[in-house]
Structure 1
Amino acid sequence: MRIGAVPLPCTALLFLCVGLTRSLKIITPERDSFEKAQGEGIRLPCEFELISDDTGPLTIEWSLVPKDSLQSDQPIILYSGGAIYNKYPEMSNRVHFTSDDPRRGDASLNITGLKLADSGSYQCRVMKHPGTDNKKLLLTVSERPGKMKCYVDGTQEIGSDLKLKCEAKEGTPPLQYRWEKLTGTKKLPLTGKVIEPGVFFVKNASEEYSGTFKCTSDNRVGTDSCLLVLYVAHPTNVAGTIAGAVIGTLLGVVLLAVIVFCCCRKQKEKKYEKEVQHEIREDVAPPKSRTSTARSFIGSNHSSLGSLSPSNMDGYAKAQYSHIPSDEFERPPSNAPNYSTAKVSAPTLSRMGAIPVMIPAQSKDGSIV
């Protein structure tokens, strides 16, 4: 070997280095890690440069690199021979190439509707024989704070100690909390302090602390807040409140009892009126004429009076039939002959075979008394 000559191994290595510098190359992005909120979209950059020596077919593949190195990569989307193939069913409708024609040097990937499960390491590999290159990007999907709740722990009375609390039911840790006052002096109470995340402790509360407070929670991808109205007042008269409640309850019960009693009484009155009307319709017959009433009564009692003996007829006739109103019987016609009648005593009538008849007394309308 001559002095100054380059050794053969070094010459080969030099040609290899020159070849690598002129082959296909992915342009290094400004950053290689991204963090997005759940539901958002993202563009994972992957731009490359080709040289004239890269004459083979262009192939672009995006894959998800598992955390476990023993597992193989999970292909997501593939561009080969001018066609696009979705390889990952969980993301088949949410991933697509940014460029309509990746052959122009843009193999970037768009992902829409991000989910927490989309977090991981993504690898972009570009191959065009004889050149090839790849780049890994880290994606973290987080959940924004949500479903905030603000409340007061303690009695809102002058001189008492209380806590203003807030918490987010949703959100990827770590979550940060901060309190602020929106009304009045817009300054937090001087006797208050934050004792733990989301908890503002107020000692010896005063009336000037009353107002509207706001608690805000945030993390790396979003923020949320809630409002709280604090009203510090003098202690209430508990005994008077209880007594008023008891008296009001008793008055309500009495009023209800009176209403029920009146309803029951009214119902009974209606029922009684219906029963009385029913009895009148069924038991009371319309009054008959005087003549027909007297005749029917005389006929009905003819048989009953026939059982009287002559021994007691005299006294009975004198007591019952001494006075018979003349207007209780039909008067004879005006053209009938006038026969003079002589009075006959009861014993004489009895010996003659007469049958005594009892005529009941009647009112003027013809009804029997």
Structure 2
Amino acid sequence: MFHTRMELCFTLLSLLTALVSPLEITSSPKAPLEKASGQTVKLDCQFSLSSSDTGPLDIEWSLLASDNQINDQVVILYSGDRVYEDYYEPMKGRVHFNTPDPKSGDASINLTGLKSTDTGTYQCKVKKAPGISSKKMQLIVMVRPSKPKCSTEGTLEEGKNIVLRCSTTEGTKPMQYKWEKTSDSKLLPSTSVMDPVEGTVNVRNVSASASGSYRCVASNRVGSEECDLYLQVTPPRNIGGIIAGSIIAILLILLLLAIILYCFCRARKNKKYEKEICNEIREDVPPPKSRVSSTRSFSQMGSQRSSLGSMSPSNLHEYTLKSQYSMKSQYDKIPSTEEYERPPSQAPLPPPTAARMAGPNLSRMGAIPVMTPAQNRDGSIV
């Protein structure tokens, strides 16, 4: 009997619980949201309350950490009838509730100015005691492709292999590249192979018909960008002429170097020869000879001047003539270079002096005899 009553009580309690619905988030789960950077996204979180939920309403949005060792980061919070938006510094000023009063059952938020760092899993948790419920959703912020750069690799000559390359510096993968020709037949060369993932077109044995304008379009799920390229294929170069010209140029350079080296060696040799000539002591040329000192002549003139005071006017004129003749004779007898080189035994005799006039001759001429002191060769009185 007792067991029957207990079973009846449990059954009535289950029916009462089923009639009263608890707090529940009514938003249906969605696939991961994909948005481009710079756009705005709405993270939906609708909820319903039951009459048994009598506690204060708390709404919390958080960005879940990908690593269990790191704590989850609260993004925005509603508690005590007040909104707290500046919980997460990287999203400061960019996250807001969708309605001014979340108690109406709308806990959705709007995130503006999306960045690639906003990518992650977000959780909406609604709590009104004793009810509590949560929901998770994934957001993927993709970066639009930046303007690609078109370039070529290889020699643009007929018969050569070239590569058309297209690359971007920014953009969320997977990225797709597409090449197309925008001139003439608008078809890629028949020998080309395109790689849409790497953005390259390999053209083998390129021909002149491959010349023209090309366009590359880089795209992902959130946008696309393009670049243009003009290709000009030239005829093959004359390899034989280039080789011959190179050989001639090399020979001319070698010849020029040889001429410069020869001139340098010759100038150096001439400079060395001039230096040796300047330093050479010539022994076959005798040193210059100085004239014989006329000390003797000057001494004789001095002695003669000392005796002029004792002569009369008539004798003075005759003496002057004799002195001039004597000095002229001495200067005329200056020895030559050959005489200096003779040995002492062959030296010439001194020139004869003028004969003194006899006393009687002087008397006839009216001269008055005067006694003159004797003098030696150096002019001193004996």
- Identify the TM-score tier after normalising by the shorter chain: 0.5 to 0.7
Return the alpha-carbon distance in structure 2 between the equivalents of residues 34 and 98 of structure 1.
17
**1:223 pairs with 2:194:** no
SS of the aligned residue for 2:99 comes to coil
Q: Give the distance between the partners of 1:65 and 1:39, measured in 2 at CA.
A: 22
1:171 partnered with 2:179: no
Whole-Å separation in 1 of the counterparts to 2:152 and 2:50: 68
Tell me how far apart the structure 1 counterparts of residues 56 and 6 of structure 2 sit (CA, whole Å): 37
Between the aligned partners of 2:173 and 2:15, the Cα distance in structure 1 is 52
Q: 2:22 is aligned with what amino acid?
A: S
2:207 is matched with 206
Aligned residue for 1:170, secondary structure, equals coil
| Aligned-partner Cα distance in 2 for 1:99–1:161 | 62
Paired residues of 2:29 and 2:137 also in contact (CA < 8 A): no
Q: Distance in 2 between matches of 1:201 and 1:165?
A: 9
Match in the other structure for 1:301: none
User: What's the offset of the Cα at 1:77?
Assistant: 0.8
Partners of 2:123 and 2:136 in 1: how far apart?
A: 4
**2:145/2:220 contact within 8 Å kept:** yes
Q: Give the alignment's Cα RMSD to 1 decimal.
A: 2.9
SS state of the match for residue 90, structure 1? Answer: helix
Q: How does 1:236-251 map to 2 (within 5 A)?
A: none
Match of 1:63 in 2: 62
Please state whether the residue corresponding to 2:166 is helix, strand or coil: strand
Give the deviation of 1:183 after TM superposition: 1.5
Give the drift of 1:165.
0.9
CA distance in 2, matches of 1:176, 1:104: 45
Give TM-score, length-normalised by structure 2.
0.57
Quick one: distance in 2 between partners of 1:15 and 1:130? 19
Q: Corresponding residue for 2:96? A: 96
Where in structure 2 are the equivalents of 1:190-339 lying within 5 Å? Answer: 190-194=190-194, 197-235=198-236
Aligned partner of 1:84 in structure 2 is: 83
Q: In the comparison of the two structures, how many residue pairs are matched?
A: 242
The CA deviation string for residues 267-302 of structure 1, in whole angstroms up to 9 with x for no partner, is xxxxxxxxxxxxxxxxxxxxxxxxxxxxxxxxxxxx
Q: Structure 1 residues 72 and 9, CA, compared in 2 at 3 Å: closer, same or farther?
A: farther
User: Amino acid of the residue matched to residue 91 of structure 2?
Assistant: M
| 1:147-200 residue CA offsets vs partner (Å, 9 max, x unmatched) | 411111122222222111111111222322221111111111111112572111
What's the offset of the Cα at 1:65? Answer: 1.2
Distance 1:237 1:22, change over 3 A: same
State the one-letter code of the partner of 1:149. Answer: K
Give the distance between the partners of 2:42 and 2:68, measured in 1 at CA.
26
- TM-score, normalised on structure 1? 0.59
Whose radius of gyration is greater, 1 or 2? 2
- Contact kept, 8 Å, 1:45 with 1:108, in 2: the verdict is yes
1:183 corresponds to which residue?
183
Q: Deviations along 1:57-83, whole A, 9 cap, x unmatched?
A: 222111111122344322111112221
- Equivalent residue, structure 2, for 1:44: 43
Aligned position for 1:357: none
Q: How is 1:23-172 mapped onto 2 (pairs within 5 angstroms)?
A: 23-29=22-28, 31-86=30-85, 87-172=87-172
Separation in 1, partners of 2:42, 2:132: 22
Please state whether the residue corresponding to 2:169 is helix, strand or coil: strand
Could you tell me how far apart the structure 1 residues matched to 2:207 and 2:13 are?
Answer: 82
| Contact 1:25–1:50 under 8 Å retained in 2 | yes
Deviation of the 1:220 alpha carbon: 2.8
Quick check: 2:22–2:49 contact (8 Å CA) kept in 1? yes
Shift of 1:9: 8.4
Give the whole-Å Cα distance in 1 for the aligned partners of 2:177 and 2:50.
54
1:13, distance to aligned residue in structure 2 (A) = 7.2
Native 8 Å contact 1:32 1:136 kept in 2:
no
Query: 1:90 deviation in Å?
Result: 2.0
> 1:162 is matched by which residue type in structure 2?
I
Contact 1:158 1:206 in 2 (8 A): yes
In the alignment, is the contact (CA less than 8 A) between 1:159 and 1:204 conserved in 2?
yes
| Stretches of 4+ aligned residues off by more than 6 angstroms | 2-6, 237-240
Is the 1:179–1:214 Cα contact (8 Å) retained in structure 2?
Answer: yes
Compared CA separation, residues 206 and 132, structure 1 to 2 (3 A): same
Task: Write the deviation string for residues 231-270 of structure 1: whole angstroms up to 9, x where unpaired.
Answer: 2232356869xx9xx9xxxxxxxxxxxxxxxxxxxxxxxx
Q: CA deviation at 1:228?
A: 1.1
CA–CA separation in structure 1 for the residues paired with 2:182 and 2:76: 51
CA–CA separation in structure 2 for the residues paired with 1:185 and 1:4: 91
Q: CA deviation at 1:211?
A: 1.5
Structure 1: gaps spanning 5 or more residues? 247-369
Aligned-pair CA distance for 1:118: 1.5
CA contact 1:95–1:109 (8 Å) conserved in 2: yes
Q: What letter corresponds to residue 203 of structure 2 in structure 1?
A: V
Q: Which runs of 5+ in 2 are unaligned?
A: 250-382
